[in-house]
Chain A
């Protein structure tokens, strides 16, 4: 190492414009004639030898390294930030809203069926409110279907599901209207039309809605996965440490050959790089936490609540159809007890709602839900003769007003909790995307600035050799 040479005197004797140095410095070193004598690789070898053996050469090499390191840092930081931001943004603005649409479609269709079958059993003229409820459900379902048709994306399963629902829904409503028309004339064939309508819904339309729901829920899960992946964080941290190490190492080297401890531009470059690293790190962690919160407190609850709504509607339909079909078909009460078992407050969906609500401080609603569900189960057991020792149930014991009222309370409670969960999701998802805001600009600017400052610092030393 030629560290002992007094560079400053040597430097002073030479004057040349600062920024032309690198080119002018190395061009004369390559004698043109040598290319024709030696191997074709010779000029390159000479160039490399000069970089490695002379101090200015080494400085040029260091500046190349520092720039490359900065570029690598910028690329990695941007990639990490982009992958997180894209996922968080997709979850917030795309997949979760689509999941919400799929949920609306699913719950509205289930509820429409429950509403229609219950109306049939109340006897007499159908209450205006129930009819309005059914029509409102259909409107909600159609609106969601329109949105899903437009935005369902590339999944073939989801497109098939949307097509199935679009084709079958008019048939369903047609059968329901046929049932109503017969019912208005007190013809029992109305019940058969209603059964056919209900069967079409439960065997064709709802499975398609379920398929859509599953697709959207899985897509959201994937977005959560990439939006909270620790790999991005770790890789970024390693890149930041590597870049800072490189920069500090370069400063130490430059300080050693120049005998000056402080190189202000390089120090500034280090500070800029450190600052942007910390900012990015904090942003990534905040985004990760906010997105995890969006999932845990928001969309997890939305999913569990919506499944509860769907299954409660199914229980209501079963309860009504048990009575419509009594005397000829025993599958509805079997399905009913199955669904009630899946909902169960202990170990079932309602239990899961309670567990989730503890985290979000909404236990009051969940407790009310569990106690209402217990009374609903008791009512259902009575009217559908689930637990009366196999005694045939008396005719005319239609879905009791009591049971309908409890079901209404349950579904209002669930709707309220879903809305609250949706709000929690929106807030947390906005926090997630907000934590990364500005970084997509700051990272490249800071990287370029740091690289420029470092170059400037090295160049100051390099200029001392001319």
Chain B
């Protein structure tokens, strides 16, 4: 009897100790922890296409009409007349490139050099200068060409370099800006050109042509890839890179935001920017080229350049050379 009691006591005591290990199977808690653990998507690894078709006169574009229609008086049946009937032009643009095309947080408008060029085209179609004549849409780098092809926007002016490959997909206007790939460094930096980049950390956007050019021009530099262009300026200001390489259009915007930087060296690569338009609307391409020709002739191009980039780029260059076909 006594031994039985003792045994029972031992069993009972160990059971009492053990019960602390029992865990509740709790649906709410499991669900909560699973929901909080929802992973963030990782940015895709974009890479420039390796197939580069060849073509001659890559920047040559359709000749403007002999006589440009008067502003606001578009020929019936033309694409411009359709736009005028709709009431607004849709344009795909960037919103992150200071001075070129950027969203100004103070007045919540997108503005810059490219935006003003688009406004000139709109005012040629509508015959007045109403800001509501253009609806701007932000397009990603990857979306620029498809947006034009699918017609979700009429026109894209978003630092699109004219290439043979792209010309198979869309039509381009004449060159509205001749960008050059250059270097931006802190104003006290010893880097003077792409010859001084050995062992230096150089920032560029992942998947951009700039980072490929950097690899071929300065193979001993250490490329630092970032998701977005402006991240490079943050890196430079924080001292985690020694230089930034990109198109001068972008570097000018960086320099304007940070007076303790300078643009150095010659052109590492030439990047002629064109306005992308669907191949379905050659009349619109000719019209846009006519507007651009007028702007070059009457000084509007120079005025827009001076307005946006005059403080950081001097002297003001001549408008880019144009080539026509057809």
Interface residues of A (CB under 8 A from B): 65, 68-69, 72, 75-76, 79-80, 83, 87, 120-121, 123-125, 182-183, 186-193, 195-196, 202-203, 210, 213-214, 217, 221-222, 224-226, 228-232, 234-235, 238-239, 242, 246, 295, 300-301, 303-304, 306-307, 310-311, 325-331, 334-335, 338-339, 342-343, 348-349, 352, 356, 390-396, 398
Considering only residues 183-233 of chain B, those with a C-beta below 8 Å from chain A are: 227-231, 233
Contact pick for B12, options A224, A235, A343, A393, CB 8 Å: A235
Contact, CB under 8 Å: A246 / B19: no
- Highest count of chain A CB atoms <10 Å: which of B36, B103, B233, B237: B36
Q: Contact: A395 with B110, CB < 8 Å?
A: yes
**Interface contact B230-A311, CB-CB below 8 Å:** no
User: Does B298 belong to the interface (CB within 8 Å)?
Assistant: no
Chain B 72-100 interface residues, beta-carbon cutoff 8 Å to A: 92-98
Interface string of B30-65 (1 = CB under 8 A from A): 011101111011111000000000000000000000
Asked whether, in the complex, the Cβ of A196 is within 8 Å of the Cβ of B234, the reply is yes
Closest-CB distance, A202 to chain B (whole angstroms): 7
Stretch at the interface among B134-142, B162-170, B172-180: B134-142
Nearest-Cβ distance from residue B57 to partner chain A, whole angstroms: 30
Interface residue from B13, B20, B29 paired with A221 (Cβ < 8 Å) = B29
B287 to chain A, nearest CB (A): 23
Choose from A125, A187, A231 the contact partner of B15 (Cβ within 8 Å): A231
Could you tell me if A304 and B94 are in contact, using CB atoms closer than 8 angstroms? no
> Which of A196, A202, A327 contacts B139 (CB under 8 A)?
A327
By size class, the interface of chain B is: 35 or more
> Nearest chain B CB to A171's CB is how many angstroms away?
11
In the complex, A228→B253 CA distance in Å? 65
Taking a contact as CB atoms under 8 Å apart, the answer to whether A195 and B42 are in contact is: no
B258 cross-chain contacts in A, Cβ below 8 A? 189
Q: B100: shortest Cβ distance to chain A, in Å?
A: 10
Contacts A186-B106, A235-B19 aside, 9 further interface pairs with beta carbons under 8 A come to A65-B5, A214-B33, A238-B12, A295-B26, A300-B29, A307-B33, A326-B95, A338-B38, A395-B137
Query: Residue of A at shortest CB range from B31?
Result: A352
B228–A395 CB distance below 8 A = no
Q: A72-B5, A221-B26 are in contact. Are A328 and B18 (CB under 8 A)?
A: no
Establish whether residues A390 and B234, one from each chain, have CB atoms under 8 Å apart when the complex forms.
Answer: no
- A394 to B2 alpha-carbon distance, docked (Å): 87
Contact A76 B12, beta carbon cutoff 8 Å? yes
List of 7 A-B pairs having minimum Cβ-Cβ separation, nearest first: A123-B108, A231-B19, A392-B137, A229-B19, A300-B28, A192-B230, A326-B138
Contact A189 B31 (CB under 8 A): no
The residue on A at minimum CB distance from B38 is A342
Chain A hits for B139, CB < 8 A: 327, 392
Contact between B12 and A395, CB atoms less than 8 A apart: no
Q: Is B321 an interface residue (CB 8 A)?
A: no
In the complex, what residues of A have CB within 8 A of residue B95's CB?
326-327, 395
| A125 to chain B: closest residue by CB | B106
Tell whether, in the assembled complex, residue B257 and residue A327 are in contact, meaning their CB atoms are under 8 Å apart.
no
Is B230 within 8 A of A191, CB to CB?
Answer: yes
A398 to B136, CA, bound (A): 13
- A1 CB to nearest chain B CB (Å): 16
Partner of A395, one of B26, B103, B234: B103
Q: A192-B234, A326-B138, A395-B136 are in contact. Are A187 and B20 (CB under 8 A)?
A: no
- Given A195-B231, A221-B24, A183 and B105 touching (CB < 8 A)? yes
- Listed by A's residue number, 5 A-B pairs whose Cβ atoms lie within 8 Å are A69-B5, A327-B94, A328-B141, A334-B41, A393-B138
Given the known interface contacts A238-B12, A395-B103, A395-B137, the answer about A188 and B152 at a Cβ–Cβ threshold of 8 Å is: no
CA distance A358 to B136 in the complex (A): 47
**Chain B nearest CB, measured from A61 CB (Å):** 9
A231-B135 contact in complex given A225-B23, A327-B95, A356-B28, C-beta closer than 8 Å: no
B228 touches A226 (CB 8 A): no
Contact B35 A342 (CB under 8 A): yes
